[in-house]
Amino acid sequence: MAVEDGTVTVSEGDTGHATCTIATDEKTFLGIAGGATSPISAFMRGKIRVSGDTGAAMRLKTIFG
């Protein structure tokens, strides 16, 4: 997933250098995307792992909730 100038695009495969990488299971992702799960709470409970620029990951919360 790439976010540039407020536009989100999703591509499959390696698209180059990532600013940050966010890993979670399907259930947690669907909960966040659907608004039932807080991304901050999921991170604090260890349901989300972030590597790289955590500041960039935090800015994504405006997209997901």
Which pLDDT tens digits describe the chain residue by residue (65 residues)?
777 887 888 888 777 788 888 899 999 989 988 889 988 899 999 999 999 998 888 877 766 65
User: Residue 6's pLDDT is what?
Assistant: 77
Q: For the chain, how many helices (H) and strands (E)?
A: 4, 4
Whole-number Å distance between alpha carbons of 53 and 27: 24
The structure tokens listed for 60 are: 């994504």
Q: Is 36 contained in some domain?
A: yes
User: Residue 41's pLDDT is what?
Assistant: 92
C-alpha closest to that of 63 among 17, 23, 32, 31:
32
Number of domains in the chain: 1
Provide the residue range defining the domain that includes 27: 20-64
Report whether 45 contacts 27 (CB < 8 A).
Answer: no
Q: How many CB atoms lie within 10 A of CB 19?
A: 12
Q: Is 37 contained in some domain?
A: yes
The structure tokens listed for 12 are: 């499959």
